[in-house]
Structure 1
Amino acid sequence: MSKRFILLILVAVIWSCKNANEKKVIPVDNFFRTQDKAYYHVSPDGKSLSYLKLQDKKLDLFVEDIEKGTVKQLTHLKEKSISFYFWTSNNELIYYTEDESKERRSDLFVVSKDGTSHKQLSSNEKNKVRVIEDQLIDDKYIIVASNKRDSTVFDVYRLNVRTGNMDIAAKNPGNITEWVTDNKGILKIAVASDGVNETLLYRENESLPFKPVTTNNFETTLQPVAFAENEADVLFAISNVNRDKNALVALDLKTGKEKQVLFGNDTLNVVDAKYSKAKKKMIFVTCESWKKEKFYLDDSTKVRYSKIDKLLPNTEWRIMDKDKGDNVFVVRTYTDKNPGSYYLYVSGQSKLKKLADINPSINEKDMSDMKPITFKSRDGLNINGYLTLPKGTKTTNLPVVVLPHNGPGGRNTWGYNADVQFLANRGYAVLQVNYRGSGGYGKSFYTAGFREWSDKIQEDVNDGVKWLISKKIANPKKIAIYGNGLGGFIALNCLYKNPDIYSCGGSNSGVISLFSYLTTIPPFLKSNLQMYYEIFGNPETDTDYIRFASPVFHADRFKAPVFIAQNPKDPRVNVAQGVQFVKELKKRNVPVTYIEKEEGPNPVLRQQGRTALYKALEAFLQENLNKK
């Protein structure tokens, strides 16, 4: 064999190895692509499948006959976009549209599944509507809550889908934050709040007044799930009353005492629970540690769902909708590297029909693993989170982007995250910290974050970065921090206070002033204002702390480059204040990238806004991290 031939082989091997390890840069649009089909629902009788499909830059409503496969387009929208819709009977659907204005003016319609009947129930309303009971009562009513009478509270109405008339069923005295019907649509539960304490109210029927059952501090969870149909005056609820972690309990509505703990564990936190009207019993709970897991309360459900497990190996799945008889299901799959797909599952046939991929532009082979992590905070708390490392690169001395999550009470979860995968694809290790005050880890961990937004919460995030540095994963000279909402608030505070840690940082629709945040709470959440004061501080009595905690008052302390994005149509964002903050930073020669992007109900405009945002963020990080 000639030396020249051997040399050619070596070159070919080296080139192939280089290509195998070479990072594939995926276009920004691919990560944030609008779904062509989404929001699948099954009719109560299991015979029809509905969904929204992208048509001429709008999501229109379609219905498919499951057996025949015939499809009917029910809407041809030109201006407003569908925000939500649902089946209200075997043959009718209700859909709700909103415009792009800051007020989000809305219309409400009822349409037959064959399209022969189409009636507008309300027009260009400023008030909000929440659906309490979506199935028809007496073949004409659904139960909704609306703030049409008073913008600060939600009353309960019987909405006549034949005439559009709304008759008040329960008037809110001013302190009711939640209404709950039983399994037959009878309004039996109300939750009253004084802002700090919440009282569960109950009545046996609609002719009786509501009476208090039990009162708890807002730190305590008592979330109604369903009424027991085989036992009078019993409510199934997710509760952490007198415990740290959420459990599923049966509550005696006469005494306010727990009759039974259906599922409880000192280490597992119940985040969801499902009741079957067909079986008239609770069928499973979902707990979340580093990822979600089902625990079955009904053997037949376990057998049925195990068949789905076998059909969908190596993936997570959840039921998005089902028919009244629990026979026809819409199933969504996902992993940390795959946005997933929608499937139709008919239990009698034990087979799946694929409906659509959520984002066919994403190939999971190109995505990165999201790994759970745990570290100790400086004061000894166990802090959990996730670390995603870029694919096909070394695992040491990496540039890092820290993504503090929004709040209060939110958390990062395991699963496909377009923001995370986009950043990992650009070569960044992505750190997500579930700082104290995050939900899902018990009552004591949640309350440990109260009034710590400028102190220990930020320390938890910083301690996560220091943990990464100690593990030699992070390049200590190439660390950025970026967040949305209150995550942006944390990011900006961490940035100016810790110039030794962060090279640059940014905020997307972030809170820059707690004064503004607390004064722009929507009118219908005013009853919760005292709760917000407990979590963040009272702007009247804790003025010094609120000022100290708000980055808008510390423009003089920023040195590192800043990225600011705002949505001018977001009612919770004080755009003028944000613009002034940017001007103050620029006066002090702080490098600032400022972008205004719109995100409303229109999916095409939303995708365009996201694409512009992430292209700008990509350039910002490239300039301030990769060139260092």
Structure 2
Amino acid sequence: MAGVAAAALAAGMAQAEDGAEVAAKFGALESVRQISLSTDGTKIAFIAPQDDGGARLMVADLAGDGVPKAILAQRPGPETLRSCSWVLATRLVCRNSVVYDYGGLLLPISRLFVLDSDGNNVKRLSAGTGSDTVGAVSLTGGSVIDWSVPGKPGHVLLTRFFVPQQAAQVGIKRDVSGFGVEDVDVTSLQRFTLERPVAEADEYISDGQGTVRIMAVAPRDAGGESRGQISYSFRMPGSREWKSLSRVTMNAAGRFEGFRPAAIDPARNLAYGFQSVNGAKALYTMALDGTGKQDLVLAREGVDVDELITIGRNQRVVGASYATDRRLVEFFDPALKKLGAGLAKALPGQPSITFIDSSDDGKLLMLASSDVDPGMFYRYDPATHQLAPLLPMRAQLQGVAMGEMKSVTYPAADGTMIPAYLTLPPGSSGKNLPAIVMPHGGPSSRDEWGFDWLVQFFAVRGYAVLQPNFRGSSGYGSDWYQRNGFQSWRTAIGDVNDAGRWLQAQGIAAKGKLAIVGWSYGGYAALQSSVLDPDLFKAIVAVAPVTDLQRLRTESSRLGRTFIGEGSQVVTDGSPALNASRIKAPVLLFHGDRDINVDIGHSREMEDRLRAAGTAVTLVTFPGLDHQLVSSTARTRLLADSDAFLRKALGL
């Protein structure tokens, strides 16, 4: 027994000694934020985020030495380089975003720019809103809805929000406003209006061949807020006349009802879209010939088919996917189906295969990843059947042993079986461990099988981690979703607490060693869990949490307020800040002060109320960071501080 105790003590000391190193490895940002394959398949471009802000745009010539070279450097600051994609073999379109402080109101603003593959000839692509703008500012610089216009190499179709402008010569306001589409040459920057602006237009869908076929209009009330309805119109081939296609409405729970188009197949003259069948989202097609004929393409009982898979500059539809215990892909393209299955078997660890991009001649860019592997990018050449490794997703974690993520179920108090994922420390017996329940964000979301840097950090540090897909999660149909995780908070949080009780009953969680950790809605759930059962969890970590539903309603749009709900049973009883006196466990809060998803005021209010109630609480703020805390320094501190906090609170 003495030998066992000595070994356990030595292991504990080793964990304490390497905790900072492990936190630094898992807190480091991914090596690749976004990646794309050139139109001729000879180059890749990827965004490499830097540890303390900023990023570098890298290009590797795969036909040459293959060594990535920086062609653009973004200095640390408020701007974030989000994506870069090829429109020509030598030219890229990139998106940049910034959170702008407009007199205390934080606004997300994005703009597009173009540059050559050697970093030269950088120009703004988004239309300007200069000094002649009247009373409006466009927050978005538009989105590319078609990367290939037949007969016009280097042209794209770009959405644009037209704002009223003052005619410079005569000083008269031009009545030009709304959402439209432009045809833009990415080299000369010449542009002409393809779709005149429509006041309440919300979306356009092109056919991948330079023709806009679908328009969405979202009516607004007198205050300019959406009414929760979207009307879709379409055009017959060769026609400019809009005809009614479908209408969708957001219900009180926050789910859209009706056929919602997502992509077009021009060869078959139909639209792919989603709508519910037996309470679950399914994939349908609808003919674009005026008949309104619909055909069911893919449905799964009790599971939402929620992702359409497209590839290439023409955004060709090649499949759809849904998540059960793992995400499954149904390929409509026989060649990709065969290739994906073959690669998954051939590569080590039988990883999940994600096709990311393709060149005009059929070369494929893909990611192979799993629960214990953040992933490796590959290029596949179907002509030579050559699979070439390119880059790891997270270079810092190569060779680190991680915990396997297993699908489990556990009973809720009413007997309902709740799906979840259990990750144990590498090499663990799975018994008598410090344990963490980690509810997901959203609440209109769910956890899925795959690599998770937060989960794996705690597993490597010796914790068992259980991620419940509680009722209120998306992906399981409307019955499971109920009235979302806010309006149905008692059920959702009850399921979260039952996850902790299951860990104890199974002997996975050691007595008195149970904690809860969550981010965003997960942070809300972590705090509200102790409002329902103050004695269950012995420590609470909440990152960017919602804490006051009335505050959230005040900060939200009309649809947001409907989604959150109203009445004291939701707004008052469901707010952890308003019930702080019930929380006994020590609390550690993290929040960025430029968070536009959940204002930092939620954490500050929670801190004040917990302190007034005599509960131990610490709030760590990250200046200049948003909801995702995209900083290696911030994430490393989050991990290290959380680990130290939990070890102290749980007596480890």
Task: Give TM-score scaled by structure 2 length.
Answer: 0.82
Match of 2:632 among 604, 607, 610: 607
Match of residue 382 from structure 1: 417
Report if aligned partners of 2:145, 2:159 keep a CA contact under 8 Å in 1.
no
Deviation string for 1:206-252 (max 9, x for gaps)? 974533322344333744343222233x1122332x33333332212
Distance change >3 Å, CA 62–CA 472, structure 1 → 2? closer
Shift of 1:283: 3.2
Name the counterpart of 2:47.
52
Q: Which residue of 2 aligns with 1:546?
A: 571
Rate the CA distance shift 1:17–1:324 in 2: closer, same or farther, 3 A: farther
Distance of aligned partners of 1:582 and 1:154 in 2 relative to their CA distance in 1, 3 Å threshold: farther
- 1:200-599 alignment runs, 5 A limit: 200-204=232-236, 208-218=240-250, 219=255, 220=257, 222-232=259-269, 234-240=270-276, 242-254=277-289, 257-266=292-301, 269-275=304-310, 282-313=317-348, 314-325=350-361, 327-363=362-398, 366-449=401-484, 452-521=487-556, 526=557, 529-530=558-559, 532-538=560-566, 542=567, 545-598=570-623
CA spacing shift, 1:367–1:266, aligned 2, 3 Å:
same
Deviations 1:566-588 (CA, angstroms, capped at 9, x unpaired): 11011233334532431232122
Deviations 1:106-131 (A, max 9, x none): 55321122445332345798722342
Map of 1:182 onto structure 2:
207
Deviations 1:465-519 (A, max 9, x none): 2222222222352221121111111111112331121112131111112223233
Q: Which residue of 1 aligns with 2:157?
A: 143
Q: List per-residue Cα deviations over 1:87-121 (Å, max 9, x = no partner).
A: 12232111223356554555532112244533234
Question: Partners of 1:333 and 1:579 in 2: how far apart?
Answer: 41
The 1:75/1:360 distance shift into structure 2, 3 A limit, reads: closer
Q: What is aligned with 1:129?
A: 141
Equivalent residue runs for 1:186-197 within 5 Å:
186-193=211-218, 195-197=227-229
The 1:153–1:51 alpha-carbon spacing in structure 2 relative to 1, beyond 3 Å, is same
- Across the aligned residues of Structure 1 and Structure 2, the Cα RMSD in angstroms comes to 3.6
Instruction: Judge conservation of contact 1:21–1:392 (CA < 8 Å) in 2.
Output: no
1:344, distance to aligned residue in structure 2 (A): 1.6
Counterpart of 2:29 in structure 1: which amino acid? T
Partner of 1:623: 648
SS at match of 1:345: strand
Residue 92 of structure 1 contacts residue 111 of structure 1 at CA under 8 Å; is this kept in 2? yes
Distance verdict in 2 for CA 1:385–1:145, change over 3 Å? farther
Q: Assess, with a 3 A threshold, how the Cα gap between structure 1 residues 136 and 393 changes in structure 2: closer, same or farther.
A: closer
Larger displacement relative to structure 2 (131-140 or 406-415): 131-140
Give unmatched runs, 5+ long, in structure 1.
Answer: 1-10
CA distance in 1, matches of 2:8, 2:536: 38
Alpha-carbon distance in 2 for matches of 1:278, 1:139: 12
Secondary structure, in 3 states, of the residue corresponding to 1:163? coil
Aligned partners of 2:510 and 2:7: how far apart in 1? 28
Distance 1:116 1:435 in 2: 50
- Match of 2:476, SS? coil
C-alpha change, 1:470 and 1:256, in structure 2 (3 Å) is farther
Q: Secondary structure at the match of 2:374?
A: coil
Contact 2:438 2:467 in 1 (8 A): yes
Which residue is equivalent to 2:189? 163
Q: Distance in 2 between matches of 1:15 and 1:467?
A: 29
Aligned counterparts of 1:158 and 1:370: Cα–Cα separation in 2? 47
Superposed CA offset, 1:27-56 (max 9, x none): 201012223445221112223222224579
Aligned equivalent of 2:75? 78
1:461, 1:604 → 2: CA distance? 25
Residue by residue over 1:337-388, the C-alpha shift from the partner in whole angstroms, topping out at 9 and shown as x without a partner, is 1111111211222222221222233256621111111123233433211111
Q: 1:33 aligns with which of 23, 28, 32?
A: 28
Once the two structures are aligned, what percentage of the paired residues are identical? Answer: 23
Pair 1:119 & 2:123 matched? yes
Give structure 2 stretches of 5+ with no counterpart: 102-106, 130-136, 165-176, 219-225
State whether residues 597 and 612 of structure 1, in contact with CA within 8 Å, keep that contact through their aligned partners in structure 2.
Answer: no
Q: Secondary structure at the match of 2:475?
A: coil
The CA distance in 2 between the partners of 1:547 and 1:602, in whole Å, is 24
Corresponding residue of 1:3? none
How many residues align structurally?
602
CA distance in 2, matches of 1:141, 1:278: 12
In 2: Cα distance, 1:442 partner to 1:94 partner: 37
Displacement of 1:429: 1.3
Task: State how far apart, in whole Å, the 1-side matches of 2:356 and 2:243 are.
Answer: 35
| Larger mean Cα displacement after TM superposition, 444-453 or 557-566 | 444-453
Query: Residue 34 of structure 1 aligns to which amino acid in structure 2?
Result: L
Classify the secondary structure of the residue corresponding to 1:75. Answer: strand
Q: Determine if contact 1:272/1:285 at 8 Å carries over to the other structure.
A: yes
Report the CA distance between 1:593 and its aligned residue. 1.4
The alpha-carbon distance between structure 1 residues 535 and 252, as it changes in their structure 2 partners (threshold 3 A), is same
Q: Output the CA distance in 2 between the equivalents of 1:17 and 1:501.
A: 27
The residue matched to 1:308 in structure 2 has which SS? helix
